[in-house]
Structure formats: C-alpha cells, structure tokens
Structure 1
Amino acid sequence: MNYFQKLFYFTFVYEKRYLIFLRGFYTTLLLSIASFICGTLFGILLCAMKRSNNKILIKIADVMIALLINIPTMVLLLVFVYVIFGSISAPLAIIVILALTMKTGSYICEIINTALDAVDPGEIEAARTLGMTSRQTFIYITMPHVISTGLELYKNQFILNMQETAVVGYVALVDLTRASSIVGARTMDSLLALLAISVIYFVIGIAFKKLFNLMRIEKHIGV
C-alpha cells in the first residue's frame, strides 16, 4: 500500500476508528441543534427582559449579555463544568448544552434586539391608527420586519454555534474535533483526520443553510 492507502486504513479502518468519528459527529450534531433551539428561546427571553419597563430586569439582562458575550466559550464551559456544576452529578452533555445555550442566546438576543430597532416607528403608528391591536401590529407589522432583517444573521448564528462546539473536547466530550485529535494521536499523522472533520463541518453547515432556505419563511409571512 502507498502512503495515503496506509493512512486511510489506520485513520478509519484499523480498530474500527471510524466509530470514533461517528461518535464525534453525533455529539457535535446534538450539541449544535439542542443549544441552538434552547438558545433561541433563551435569546427571546433575554430580549423581552431587555425591552421591558422593569429597570431591574433590564439591568439583569444587560449584565448577563455582557458577561456571556465577552467570556470565551471555552472559559464558560470550564466554569459550568468544574465550578457551577462541579459538585453536582449531572450528565456532562446537559451541562455543556446549558452553557452553549446561554452563550448562543446572548447573541440571538442581540440579533432580535437589533432587528426590532430597525422597524420603522411610523409603520407601527400607522397600524395603530388603522385600528390594529398591539397583538395584530406585532404579528403583521413588527414580526415580518424582524424576520426579514434578522433571518440571515440567525442562519449564520447556527454555523457559529456549531463551530463553538469544537472546544468541548477540553471538558472530555468527544466531538468531531476531539475525535480527530484522538485518532491523530494514535496514527501519529493527523492529515486525514483533520481533512475528514473539515469536510464534515462544511457539509453540516451547508446542509443546515439549505434546510433554513427550504423552510421559505419569507414566503409564508409575505416579506
């Protein structure tokens, strides 16, 4: 066998090392999807707090967003795993999802908040003048503009969220990046392992971009 055949064999076939990559793929997908969905809900909550009339809620939201955005993801994971939940028996994946949820939620909150600020107040006033209720104004005027303005950023946030899962190997979770490190250490040559996970990350990103596009949100809301 030539060099690349040997490398392929020892990277994927020998000792069924492809299973390590499959485990990493599952972990990456689980963390990415779960934290993105939960992060969206958390982001909406933070945005509601930030735009409320309660000064205490506004301050809490501002402090949380500032902390979550400025603390590196790896540091946040270490704090959650070894400090906040260090003495609590809980599944590691759940702790990591919680940390990533809060990190992602802070970004999504800013996306929503920026999109809301971009809505023309004149259109809202016009809708109220026409007799629309606050709920109708939000559904038919505010929401379409928010989605139109923030949808692309929201799509990209999933990709960024998936990329941030690449550091979970530091807390002993085997994701795609950690899988490549494990296999690379065993083969003493990380070329194919790194190439493989690069392709997988790329395919996941493209696939979810296509999935978002297939949803055709713009068409359904008429923007």
Structure 2
Amino acid sequence: MDNLLHDLYRNFIEGNRYNYILSGLGVTLKVTVFALLIGVIMGFLIAVVRSTFELNGQLKLLSLICKIYVTIIRGTPVVVQLLIIYFCVFAAVDISKTLVAIIAFGCNSAAYVSEIFRSGILSIDKGQFEAGRSLGFSYRQTMFTIIMPQAIKNVIPTLGNEFISLLKETSVAGYIALQDLTKAGDIIRSRTFDAFIPLFTVAAIYLIMVLILTKMVAVLERRLRVSERR
C-alpha cells in the first residue's frame, strides 16, 4: 500500500504532473466536440446530396464526388489522414495543432456520419415521398419537412455511438505532438519511467467517459422508443 501511494505521488503530485492529465483531458474533449460538429454538418450535406441522386437522379456529379470522398476517407487509417493534413496540407502554414486535429477528425467523422444519415433517409418508406408530392410539396419541401425529421429521429442513437468512436479515435492526436489525454500519460511515463500507473489512469479515464456516453445513448434510445408509442 505504501508503495502504491508513493507511486501515485511520484506520478501525479510531484511536480504537479496531474496538470498534464487535466490539460490533456480538456484538449481531448475540445477536439472531440468540435470534430463531431464538423462531422455532423458535413455528413448531413453529403448524405443529402447522395440520397437526392439515389432517389430522383439529380446532383449526379456532386454525388460522385461525395462518394469518392467517403470511399477514400473510410478506406484509409485516420492517423494517416491526420499526418497528411498536418505535414502536407498545412505544412507551410502556422496553425494550431488542436485546429488541425479538429479538421482531420471532423473530416474523417463526416464520411461515417454521412452514411448514417443516408441510411436513415433511405430507410423511410417511399410512400412518404409520394404523400408529400400529392400534397403539392416540392422534392425539397418533402425532404426537409417530412423525411428528414423521421430520418434524424431514427439515426440519433447511431450518432451517439459515432461520438463514442470519435472520442477514442482522438487518442492518436499525439502523432502530431498534440498534448491530448493519451499524450499526457506518455509524458508522465517519460518523466517517471513508470508506464503502469499513468497509462492505466488514461485508460480508466477513457473507459469512464465511454461508459457515461454509452449510458446517455441508452437513455436517449429508451426515450425515443417511448415517444414512438405515443
């Protein structure tokens, strides 16, 4: 017990090393939240373009571009995308590493979110489109007043799971020397030469955050099911 307390003191209290964990946690949450916002906005637009082409044949060129984008992003590792954006795209620009990470993870998330939205849109019965058109709505009006509300309601739980996945994916941000939560644990390890306590602490923090988010998604799913029965 004394050894454990000594190790905890040496890893976190001595030299105020706990600040690495706190600041790293803040960076991780910031990157995750803003990347998710980018992913949801971009993913929604991509899904609208692709589903519009699949449903009525419009926006063919834009749909092709979006399809290529999704294929490339989903077919390459996120860490490689992060390195390309930092060392190639922004190589000659003085830019915040946090902003680079937000852009990289946001663009990556957009590809997956777009497929979530697209599947939600295409899951709506085609009779809903016909009902909207029979009421005199244009395709756009039918899409945004009848189809989208139902589709978004159906995919919200899946978007919650994407948020969880994105949170864990940001752990590779240290590849561009961004001091996120994972990097913070590694910095402490390099100071104390003790890998067990700092790295397991980081793992425990990720696990706690994931468990909290999983619980929130489960509660949201239950509420959506209840609302559907009314």
TM-score by length of 2: 0.86
Q: Which residue of 2 aligns with 1:11?
A: 11
Structure 1 residues 156 and 42: alpha-carbon distance in aligned structure 2, compared to 1, 3 A threshold: same
Please point out which of 83, 88, 91 is paired with 1:83: 88
Measured in 2, the distance between the counterparts of 1:139 and 1:48 equals 10
Matched, 1:34 2:34: yes
Question: Which amino acid counterpart does residue 133 of structure 1 have in structure 2?
Answer: F
Question: Which amino acid counterpart does residue 137 of structure 2 have in structure 1?
Answer: T
Matched, 1:133 2:128: no
Q: Which residue of 1 aligns with 2:224?
A: 218
Task: Please state how far the C-alpha of 1:34 moved relative to its aligned partner.
Answer: 0.5
What pairs up with 1:44-63 in 2 under 5 angstroms?
Answer: 44-52=44-52, 53-63=58-68
What pairs up with 1:1-223 in 2 under 5 angstroms?
Answer: 2-52=2-52, 53-129=58-134, 131=135, 133-134=137-138, 137-138=142-143, 141-211=146-216, 213=219, 218=224
- Deviation digits for residues 52-92 of structure 1, max 9, x if unmatched? 41221111101111111111011001000000100111112
Measured in 2, the distance between the counterparts of 1:199 and 1:27 equals 17
8 A Cα contact 1:36 1:161, kept in partner: yes
Task: Please state how far the C-alpha of 1:116 moved relative to its aligned partner.
Answer: 1.1
- Deviation digits for residues 169-222 of structure 1, max 9, x if unmatched? 010001111111111122222222122212211222233445554699738975
TM-score by length of 1: 0.89
Q: Where in structure 2 are there 5+ consecutive unaligned residues? A: 53-57
Task: Please state how far the C-alpha of 1:3 moved relative to its aligned partner.
Answer: 1.9
Structure 1 residues 123 and 49: alpha-carbon distance in aligned structure 2, compared to 1, 3 A threshold: closer
- Deviation digits for residues 93-130 of structure 1, max 9, x if unmatched? 1111111110000100000011111111123323443x
* Aligned pairs, number: 222
Measured in 2, the distance between the counterparts of 1:174 and 1:102 equals 21
Measured in 2, the distance between the counterparts of 1:25 and 1:115 equals 33
Which SS does the other structure have where 2:91 is aligned? coil
Measured in 2, the distance between the counterparts of 1:171 and 1:211 equals 31
Structure 1 residues 139 and 46: alpha-carbon distance in aligned structure 2, compared to 1, 3 A threshold: closer
Task: Please state how far the C-alpha of 1:2 moved relative to its aligned partner.
Answer: 2.2
Which SS does the other structure have where 1:189 is aligned? coil
Measured in 1, the distance between the counterparts of 2:223 and 2:89 equals 39
Question: Which amino acid counterpart does residue 196 of structure 1 have in structure 2?
Answer: T
Measured in 2, the distance between the counterparts of 1:8 and 1:14 equals 9
| RMSD of aligned alpha carbons | 2.5
